[in-house]
Structure formats: structure tokens, C-alpha cells
Structure 1
């Protein structure tokens, strides 16, 4: 077995393990296996599509879309990624909603870093209410509630996280920390009162009956002044005991209790800060991984002109080429925004620019003529609006194709739109002076 075959088998093994964990809803556990599978075999589109689904389920929509677009670039036919992307687009403003979610999460994270926990909690609670499967927001919100001592709410959001990602290790750690803190507080509240010191009892352990009371032989009745003196002496002794014995002891006891509480608060704060640093490190790591893709993801919410739309059009052009449907390929090519096609350095070895260049030559030399011919058919059939649309697409590929510009003006004239007709006739005259079509345009203009 050669190296390539071993690599493919290892990739399939990693994919199968990732699929098994995903079915058990251990999503974060499945991700490393799927990434490893793609490192071993970049063409394993099943692993890439599953990785995109897991990202999407956990609320990491940008990462999901990137995986699906790359998957389509690798294979267009019989690829579930095409359905996934179409489904996202059919859901109207969902991409805009996800973009807003990410913006609010970044605001909440910044507020948490600056100690504005109330602001952070307010933002995160709103995010989780709209997107309960956004794992990252749920973890940060539960952490802030643990810091605030609200373990009931923290437990609620940790359960929500584990409903999406059952074995999320960060959620497990947070839950364990919160449970330990609750047990410590409960143990402190339930601590029994200390028993009364047996030394304070001046009688024996058995109850004495009346006839067993011992009266010393030296006992005699006290006189009034002796009684008063004894009371005064007792009061002085009691006051001295309070001042010299009880107060220092009580003060030391209070100081010790206060210091213990301060130490416990420091411990809790250190624990919360450590957990918050974990979140920040995870976030920073994720941001670094996405930095090369951020320019593409930022534009996925801009409708038909988004990067997602451009990648889909390029995939459609490739599919039309395979099916020898050059007319439809030319129509897609005319609306393609090449500036948004950007190579992604993800180690896959796939170049979007190379894919584009493979079709650009034929489209630039023949595509505009195919569109012009289709426009003429629509013009002759009286479908002037459809003809204008095809003339525009022909000109989008070759803006110097004079016949398309002239016939576009004629289509507007046939529609009775004199203003637009004269505008385009004038453009023909100014851009192509001295030609036959320029002379015809001069005669066709409505005075």
C-alpha cells in the first residue's frame, strides 16, 4: 500500500469517527477529527460538508459558509453543499441576522473584558434568546452568571449549550466549578451550631433531686449590704471579663472571618478570571483562524452581490461548461463580479482565480456574441425588456460591442421610452463616430 492509499484510508477513518461523534451530538469533539481528515485528503467533500454543518449548528455561520463554498469548488455535481447554500439564501434575512449576532457578541465580549458585566449579560441574553444554539455566547453568558453567583441561571445556559453540543468540555468544566461552589455555600449554611461547653455546667451529669442538694457547712444568710457589695463586685468582674477576655477574642474572630471571606472572594475572582481568559484565548484563536477569510465573510450579507453569490455563479458556470451550455454560462459570466473572487490559503491547494481563468478566455471571446444572438431573438419576438437585459449582459462582457448598444437603444424606442432611446443613440454617436451605426443612430433619434 503506497503513501497516498494510506493517507486516503486514514482520512476516511477520521471522517467516520467524526461522523460517529456528530451523531452523538458531541459536535466539538467531532471537529478535530474532520479537520484531520481534510488535512489528509482535501478532496473529501463529505467531511468538509459535515464540518460546515457542525459549524452552522454551533452558530459559527461564517466558518460553515466558507467550508461549503470550497466544497462546491471541488465538486459541483451531486454535492449537498449546493443545497445547503441555497437553503441559507432562501431564508431571506438570515445572513443579516447572523451578522448582527456576531457584532453583538463582540460588543458583549469587549464589555466583559472591561468589567461591564451587566452590559455583557444584557447583550448575550438577547443573542441566546434569538440564537439558542450559538455555543460561544452561551458559554460566556454562563461564565458571567457564575461570577455573579447566580448559579441557577448559569446552570440553565450551560444546559442550553450542552443541548446543542452534548460533550462540550468547556461547559462541563463550568458546570463542575459552579456545582462545587454551590456545595461549599450549602455546607457553610448547614454547619451545626457548636455544642455548649460542658465546663459551663456546675452540676453533675445526672439530675439531682431536691433531697440531694448539698449545702456547705459554712453557709449563712447574707445581709443586705453584703448582697449589694457582692452584686457590685460581680458586675465589675463581668465588665472586666468582657473588656479583657471577650472583646479581644471576638475581634480576632471577626478579623479571621473577614479575612477568610476576602480570601474566598479572591479565589472565586481568580477562578472566574481564569475561565474568562480561556474564553478570550478561544475567541482569539478563532479570530486568527478566520482572519484570512474575514474579507469574504463580511460581504456574505450583501444580497446578490455578496461573495457567496459570486462563488455560486462561478460554480454554475463550471457546471454549464461541463454540460456544454455556453449560452447560460455566458449569462452567468456577464453578472460575475470578479473582484470578489479571492483565493483562500487553507492548505487545500484549490485556487479560485485559476478556476476563473479556465473559463474567462472563452467567455470573453464568444460569450457576448451568444448573448447578443439571444437578445435579437427576443427583440424579433417583441419581448423588448428581455432583449434589453440580454443586450446589457452582452455589453457587460464587451462594453465596446457597438451593435449591442445600438440595438438596446432601438429596443427602448420600440417600448416608447424616448428618453432612454435618445440617451443610448447619443452614446453610440459619441463613442463610435463615423460608423454606419452612428449614422443610423443620428437618424433614429427623436427630435
Structure 2
């Protein structure tokens, strides 16, 4: 059943709300499309096409962000793929849009109470980031050992399996890489990256098998009782020159004309041996030249493959580069989930650490929404605390501390007239007349016909007079 976005009453088949008269034709189409994408995502998730399911569910939420069923399912898909931070973000947003009778609350509580699982997830993510940095530094041996530990303690972390497969392919251990990719496909059948790596591994394995087949064809198998003897096939066809030489030597031996014939024959045989040695030398030179060309080509291929792998490893940095910021954001969310018992000052401290680690790294819409929701939740309370600290510092003539606290108070509540006023007074005490005048003007705009507004006007007149 659909409900009116304006009055909340149940909608009928008509294109307008029978209760308030609001036009709901397009609204109903958007909801139907959102539900359609949700159904597609659910079907793909049931056959473990997690990548395809995530794409459809994200599209569903783009159309209607309050579709809590789609958001909860997207969180489950993320959790199954080992992306626990993304899963928690989706469930928290779902809980914000639908506080009551929401299964996302159970998901969050389950994670919060399972301390062992949380420690395992955090440990695996830290080790994965260490392995990623080791790969970027070229220390692939240690990275491989670290990644094997990661996948052993967190088998669902798809990004770790893929990175381990890349490292193994770089070492030309394509069989082991294929095993990791098979594990990825068992978790997510629709993972395009795993399919691409699988094709690369299969191509290289097929090349190796062809080489082994060619070696077997160049051998001769002999059955001796119950034993099988394999000898290299070195038999050469007789040439006309060899036949003629054999006949000539036989005739010379048969004639036995005397020792005067043996001398020229000996010389001729000696020259023949020298020619054979010279021929072998030429053959060895040709073989070495061919080998050098093959090694040069192999070197070029390895260089190209290394550059490709390097680019692919760099592509994994993504959201993991902002891990510290995400960590403090999730700690703020954990405090927020306590409800009325939540300490807003603690949440403010975590958000400041998010800012210190670069809040601009929170590129994903879900994390920005969580960040803004938390900031709005603590706004007025934290602003009052910063204002009181700033006011006490101002009275003690500690203008540096006062300046920092008044700025924070304005950041959390831009309509706090007193904070603007005393921030201007602090700038005036520091003889920063431009900033003082600017904030006095803000006070006049916010409270033009009040005592503080009149005082601000008088201060501006004094600054202009000087």
C-alpha cells in the first residue's frame, strides 16, 4: 500500500490524494520504479549475483531514498561481500528514516553485541590496508603472507581475495590465483573483476599446457615389461651426403690400397670433424640468439604486466584510503545509537577527528548523509557548550581559546547571536578590526532591534571613526 507524501493517508487508484488533493501521479510512478529495482536486486541476491544486486538496489534508493526494504537488503549484500562499514552506514540510514519496527535495528544490535566478530572485522580491514601499502611499495612477498592471513580470518572480504589473486598472478602462480578467484565467484557470481582475472589466469594456464604437450611430442616412449622408458626423439633422417660419405668410406676401406691412401683419408676425416664442430657452434649461436630474443620478449611482457597490475592495485585504494575517517564516524554512530543516553560531546569529539582525517574523503552519499545527520543531532547542545567555554575564556582574557570555542559554536549553530557578538569582541580585543567589523555586521543582521544589535552598531561606528 502506498501513502501520500503530503498528508500520509493511504492512496487510491486515482492520480490525486482523495484526502488532501495533492497530485501523486508521478510520485506513484517513482515508487513503482523503486520497488521494481528492489525486486530485481532481491532476485539477483537470491542467486548470489551480489554485484548486480547492489547496482539495482542503489538505483532503487536513488529513486526513493526512504525505501527501507531496499536499504536493508543493500546492507546485507555489503555485509556478505565483506564491506561491513558500508553495511552499517545503510542500516543506520534505514533506522533514521524508519525508527520503529525496522529490522535494521536488530542487525546493528547483533553487530554491537558480537564483540568477537567486530574485532575480527576490524583486524582484517587493518591487515588488508597494510597489505595494500606493501603492494604499493613493491614488497609483494610480505603482502602475500598478510593477505593469506586476512582471507583466513575474514573469508568474505572479496577485495582481499582479488588482491591476493593479483599478487599470485604477478608471481605466475596462476593455479593458486584461480583458486582465490573461484572462492570470490562462490560469494559473488556476478563479480566482473573476478571474471576478468579468471580469464587472464585461464589464458596463461592454457599456454603452459601447450608447452608441456609440445615437449611430450618430441619424446619417444618404449615399453619394457612393466616399465615405460621415455627417450628424446633425436633420430635424424639420412641425407644424400651422409649416404655418399658412408659408401665412399666403405669403398676406401674395401680397396685397402695402402698407407698412402690412409693419409688423405685421415685429413679428410679430420676436416669433416672440424666442419661438424663448426656446424654445432653455428647451431648453438642460433639457439642462444633465439633464447635472447625470447627473454627480451618475456621481459617486455612482464614489464607491461607489472604496470597493469600496479594500476589495478592503485585502483583498490578507493574508500579504504579514508578508513581512519570512517572508523571515527562509526564510533560516533555507535554513541548516537544509545538514544537518550548518548553523550553529544563525545559525538562531537569523534566528528572533529573525522574532520582532522579529511571529511572530504567521505565521497559516498551514504556517509555524507550520516555525517550531516549526526552534526544536526548534536548542533545546539554542542554549540552551547563551546559558547560557554569561549565566554569563560573571554572573561579570563584568554583570547586564543575564546576564539577557537566561539568559532566552533558558530559552526554548530550559525544563528547563535551571542557567539557571533563575543567572537567579534574577541577579534576587537586582538585588534583585528576587519574580522570584528564583519561579525558585528552579522549580529546586526541576525538581531537588528535588540540590545546586542545596538551594541554591535556602536562598535562599528567606533571602528569606522578610527
Q: TM-score by structure 2 length?
A: 0.62
Give distance in 1, aligned partners of 2:289 and 2:345.
74
**Kept after mapping to 2: 8 A contact 1:310/1:337:** yes
* Residues 76 and 336 of structure 1: CA distance in aligned 2, closer, same or farther (over 3 Å): farther
Match of 2:150 among 122, 127, 135: 127
How far is the alpha carbon of 1:25 from its aligned partner?
Answer: 0.7
Q: Which residues of 2 match residues 421-436 of structure 1 at below 5 A?
A: none
Query: Equivalent residue for 1:255?
Result: 289
Q: Which residues of 2 match residues 208-223 of structure 1 at below 5 A?
A: 220-223=255-258
Give distance in 2, aligned partners of 1:232 and 1:354.
102
SS at match of 1:93: helix
* Structure 1 unaligned residues grouped into runs of 5+: 205-214, 301-305, 317-328, 365-447
Match of 2:308 among 249, 269, 274: 274
Q: Which residues of 2 match residues 138-177 of structure 1 at below 5 A?
A: 138-177=161-200
1:284 paired with 2:317, answer yes
SS at match of 2:264: helix
* Residues 88 and 220 of structure 1: CA distance in aligned 2, closer, same or farther (over 3 Å): same
How far is the alpha carbon of 1:132 from its aligned partner?
Answer: 0.9
How far is the alpha carbon of 1:119 from its aligned partner?
Answer: 0.6
Q: Which residues of 2 match residues 357-372 of structure 1 at below 5 A?
A: none
Give distance in 2, aligned partners of 1:353 and 1:131.
30
Query: Equivalent residue for 1:200?
Result: 239
Higher relative contact order at CA 8 Å, sep ≥6: structure 1 or structure 2?
Answer: 1
Query: Equivalent residue for 2:273?
Result: 238
Give distance in 1, aligned partners of 2:171 and 2:27.
54
For residues 299-337 of structure 1, give each alpha carbon's deviation from its aligned partner in whole angstroms, at most 9, with x where no partner exists. 64xxxxx32322312xx4xxxxxxxxxxxx4xx256874
Once structures 1 and 2 are overlaid, which stretch shifts more, 36-45 or 10-19?
A: 10-19
CA RMSD of aligned residues (A): 3.5
Give distance in 2, aligned partners of 1:187 and 1:334.
67
For residues 186-205 of structure 1, give each alpha carbon's deviation from its aligned partner in whole angstroms, at most 9, with x where no partner exists. 2112213388554536799x
Give distance in 1, aligned partners of 2:364 and 2:307.
33
SS at match of 1:132: coil
Q: Which residues of 2 match residues 372-411 of structure 1 at below 5 A?
A: none
**Kept after mapping to 2: 8 A contact 1:310/1:336:** no
Query: Equivalent residue for 2:389?
Result: none
1:310 paired with 2:328, answer no
SS at match of 1:149: coil
1:295 paired with 2:295, answer no
How far is the alpha carbon of 1:152 from its aligned partner?
Answer: 2.6
How far is the alpha carbon of 1:81 from its aligned partner?
Answer: 0.9
How far is the alpha carbon of 1:96 from its aligned partner?
Answer: 2.9
Q: TM-score by structure 1 length?
A: 0.64
**Kept after mapping to 2: 8 A contact 1:105/1:123:** yes
For residues 64-109 of structure 1, give each alpha carbon's deviation from its aligned partner in whole angstroms, at most 9, with x where no partner exists. 1111111111111121110111110111133233222222111111
**Kept after mapping to 2: 8 A contact 1:133/1:160:** no
* Residues 85 and 238 of structure 1: CA distance in aligned 2, closer, same or farther (over 3 Å): same
